[in-house]
Every structure is written in structure tokens, then in C-alpha cells.
Amino acid sequence: MNLQIIGHGIAGALLAEIAGQNGIRVSVRTDGSPSSSRVAAGLFTPVTGQRLGLSWRASDALPEAQRFYPDLERRLGIKFFHPLPTLRVFTCAKQRRDWEQKPKADCVHPADPNARPLRAPWGAVRIDGGGWVNLPALLDGLEQRRKSRNEWGQIPNPDITVQAIGHQAARDPLWKDLGWRNAHGDVLTVKIPGCPTDFIYSFDKFLLPLGQDRFRLGATYHWDLDDPTPRPDGRAELEAGLKNVLTLPFEVLDHQAGIRPVAVARVPVIGPHPEAPEQWIFNGFGSKGVLYTPWLAQRLVAHWQTQRPLPKETQSLRRIQRQRDRAKRQSTQQI
């Protein structure tokens, strides 16, 4: 099979690598437009939301991420995978209550935040099993690999073209009808001398240790924005969030922003287009690209090679049909 992948964010890059590992002839092309993978903090964790429940299919996706990234580090000879627990600081009484009342995920344990430079009157928990991936390093390594193998650029007559074009899918005539709710996000790099680096800190925002007193501070959510320019109000929101919990002074070194590709169903979307069956999509990873792309890229390649069905919730044909049905219902109601 000849596979053309369009886009080299985390989605296109991992799909190309995994397809290549499985004997598929692959080539990647990109137009160089902004990639949210290049500004993402690269965090992954098994839990989600204020109640710290397990993410959709985390028990499939997390073990695959924990296996895949260290294996890829060895293959590429570069370091980008950083397993690290998260210290989740509750920022109000309700958050703590919600967590106490809900059945707890096995990876979440009570923790004492007091030895740290934090204001944490409602306490904290430790979340195991997560960490972060240095995505620019990973993407640079994979781009070099594709180029050195002549797997970069347009190929004639591919059997399948996979669009892994991130938030741009919302404007693409083929894929816009899937329904998108993209989310603009700001992220800062800050310097905090003396702040301990043995945890990722989470307090509605996150603070991720990068080394040499530098930390990544993120992230904001502004829904339905399509311009990845950094927003001053985003920076102000992040600084205020950090001041709320951190008792140490900090200095802002850098400000970046990107657009998360979020499909309305809030689950990644994979598969062919009903009217153009050689055109496929691998997209909609929202704020969880690092967690889901290794597992779902494996599942997509297995689907091509052994006809194993894709997870039902991700299937593009069902998702497009559902959106079309919804649009039809709405237009009938308006008549």
C-alpha cells in the first residue's frame, strides 16, 4: 500500500512512523502552517476533568503510550519522554468534595502539599502514570528520519491519503461537516528559581518543570477561535492562576499559543470520507494528542492490515452521518 500523510504534527508523525514500522510505504507532506503540537506542553495523564475520572479508553491508550515513546527514543537515539507524577492541588472546597465523593481512579492518591511553595488550603492528591513528552524534539527527530529515508513530500497516485491537518480540518471542504469546536490555548515559559521539580503541578492550570529553573505554565481555553496568535488576556489569566497558588516569585520568559483540534464528539475521529473513500482523516485529538496518538495510530494500521474495526466512537462514517442527521433535524425544525 502507498500511503500519503498530510500534516506532521503528533498525529501525522506517529501515524507515518507506525505505518512505516509495519511495512507500509509512506510519505509525509505539510504546508508548514502552524502546528499545535509545536506549542503543546506534551502532558499525558490517565485522568481527566475536575473529578479526576479515567479518560475515555485510558486503560488501552496509556499502556501503549508508556511502551511506544521509550521505544521510539531508543530507535531515534534522542531523549524526549519524561514520566513524572502530578501533584493536583484543589483550588476550592467543592473540587475536594467532588473528588472525595466519586469512586477514585487507582492512580490517584492522597498527598501532602505542605513541603512545597504552594498555597493549598484544600489539600492535594498525587496522580501516577503520566508525564510529558518533548514534542518539538520528537517531531524534529521523526522529520529527519522521514527525510533521510526519502519519505518526505508528495507521492503520485497514493492508495490512501490521510489528512492529519489538525485544526485546519474545520475549514477543509471535505471534513468541515464533522463538526468542530477548536480551542485556542496560550502557554508561557516562566523562570522560578528554587521551585522543586519532582512533580508536574496542576491547579486548574499546570506547571511543568523543564530544567534550569524553567517551567511551562499552561494553558488557557478560548473556544471557536482559529487564529493561533498569543493573547494578552491569556497571559494575564495564566499569571493570575500561578500567583494564586505559588508562594515564590516568577518571571515570564516566553509566550506561545496554538489551536487544539477538537471535534464536537470530543473523541478523536478516524476513517475514510463517505464520498471520497481514498481520503481518510486522523484528527480531533483535542488536548490529549500525546495520550491517544500511539494507540490509535496502531489501531489504524491494524485496521488496514487485518480489517480489525476501529473503536466505534472514532469511526468517521458514523460521525459524519450523525452530524448530517443532526443538521437535517435542525433544518426541519426551522421550517
Ligand X SMILES: Cc1cc2nc3c(=O)[nH]c(=O)nc-3n(C[C@H](O)[C@H](O)[C@H](O)COP(=O)(O)OP(=O)(O)OC[C@H]3O[C@@H](n4cnc5c(N)ncnc54)[C@H](O)[C@@H]3O)c2cc1C
Residues 241 and 320: their CA atoms lie apart, in Å, by 38
> Which stretches within the chain are classed as H helix?
10-21, 58-76, 93-101, 135-148, 232-245, 289-306, 316-334
Q: In angstroms, give the least distance from the CB of 289 to ligand X.
A: 3
Q: In angstroms, give the least distance from the CB of 107 to ligand X.
A: 17
Minimum CB distance to ligand X smaller for 122 or for 134:
134
Q: Which residues bind ligand X (CB under 6 A)?
A: 6-12, 30-33, 35-37, 39-44, 164-166, 168, 185, 187, 218-219, 258, 260-261, 283, 285-291
Minimum CB distance to ligand X smaller for 278 or for 325:
278
Minimum CB distance to ligand X smaller for 50 or for 122:
50
Q: In angstroms, give the least distance from the CB of 161 to ligand X.
A: 11
Minimum CB distance to ligand X smaller for 42 or for 209:
42
Q: In angstroms, give the least distance from the CB of 265 to ligand X.
A: 15
Q: In angstroms, give the least distance from the CB of 259 to ligand X.
A: 6
Q: In angstroms, give the least distance from the CB of 301 to ligand X.
A: 16
Minimum CB distance to ligand X smaller for 27 or for 36:
36
Residue 192 CB partners (closer than 8 Å, separation 6+): 213, 215, 246, 248, 249, 250
From residue 116, alpha-carbon distances to 14, 87, 89 in Å are 37, 10, 11
Q: Judge if the upstream peptide bond of residue 219 is cis by omega within 30 degrees of 0.
A: yes
For residue 207, give the nearest of 258, 252, 262 by alpha carbon: 252
Which residue's Cβ has the minimum distance to ligand X?
A: 9
What nine digits make up the cell of 207?
A: 506547571
Minimum CB distance to ligand X smaller for 118 or for 290:
290
For residue 302, give the nearest of 25, 22, 60, 28 by alpha carbon: 22
Q: Any idea which residue has 521509550 for its cell?
A: 70
From residue 210, alpha-carbon distances to 191, 195, 217, 239 in Å are 10, 11, 10, 18
